[in-house]
Amino acid sequence: MKQTLIALVEDKPGVLNRVASLFRRRNFNIESLAVGHSEVPGVSRMTIVTDEEEMLRRNIIKANLFKMVNVIDVQDVTEQSCVLRETALIKVEADSVTRGQVMDVVEMYRGRIVDVGTKTLIVEVTGEPEKIESAINVLTPFTILEIMRTGKIAMTRGEVMPRTNGTTKAPSNGKH
């Protein structure tokens, strides 16, 4: 299973670069990264998906993220009950003959047609990443011209999780 992390980060210039650079430098692979404003002004929320399978390595990724000065909190929600969503825009070849067939598929996936051209359609599908994969598979025979995916976003179900790491521990002074 892929690792899913939710990070709260300070909304400052360069923070996305810092996070991305950390993954590069530590040789961890980012599958997807989605970022946007959170409910708190000045704080952005990231959902990061990695392909790391091993538990110890996952903890190291989390600890490295948490160590960053601009990262306020990190939760590994891989094993938690979450709402997971991704949106894809898929441009498909469709003329007057095939348009109806494509629309049937879109219906099945509760997607929407958001643009109609003479030879193309843009389909919008939202759901768990598996659903998107499946929609892409089914649309492939119609010839897919472009795909744009947002990357996964995640939110734990139920009550807001308390901040986990370190925040309860008081600063120590490093002097000797």
Q: Is 157 exposed, middle or buried (0-12, 13-18, 19+ CB in 10 A)?
A: exposed
Q: Which stretch binds other proteins (CB under 8 A): 58-66, 88-96, 113-121, 122-130?
A: 58-66
Return the number of other C-beta atoms located less than 10 Å from residue 16's C-beta. 16
Q: How far is the CB of 55 from other proteins (least distance, A)?
A: 9
Count of alpha carbons within 13 angstroms of residue 169, beta-carbon side: 6
Q: How far is the CB of 114 from other proteins (least distance, A)?
A: 35
Confirm or reject binding of residue 175 to other proteins (CB under 8 A): yes
Question: What's the distance, Cα to Cα, between the start and end of the chain in Å?
Answer: 44
Q: Considering only CA atoms, which of 155, 173, 168, 166 is closest in space to residue 66?
A: 166
Choice between 10 and 104, CB closer to other proteins? 10
Instruction: Quote the distance between the C-alpha of residue 38 and its chain's center.
Output: 14
Is residue 114 within 8 A of residue 122, CB to CB? The reply is yes
Confirm or reject binding of residue 10 to other proteins (CB under 8 A): yes
Q: How far is the CB of 157 from other proteins (least distance, A)?
A: 25
Choice between 100 and 171, CB closer to other proteins? 171
Q: Considering only CA atoms, which of 86, 85, 15, 11 is closest in space to residue 41?
A: 11
Confirm or reject binding of residue 66 to other proteins (CB under 8 A): yes
What residues numbered 17-56 form the site for other proteins, per CB under 8 A? Answer: 17-18, 21, 25, 56
Choice between 75 and 86, CB closer to other proteins? 75
**Which residues bind to other proteins, rule: CB under 8 A?**
9-10, 13-14, 17-18, 21, 25, 56, 59-60, 63-64, 66-73, 165-167, 169-176
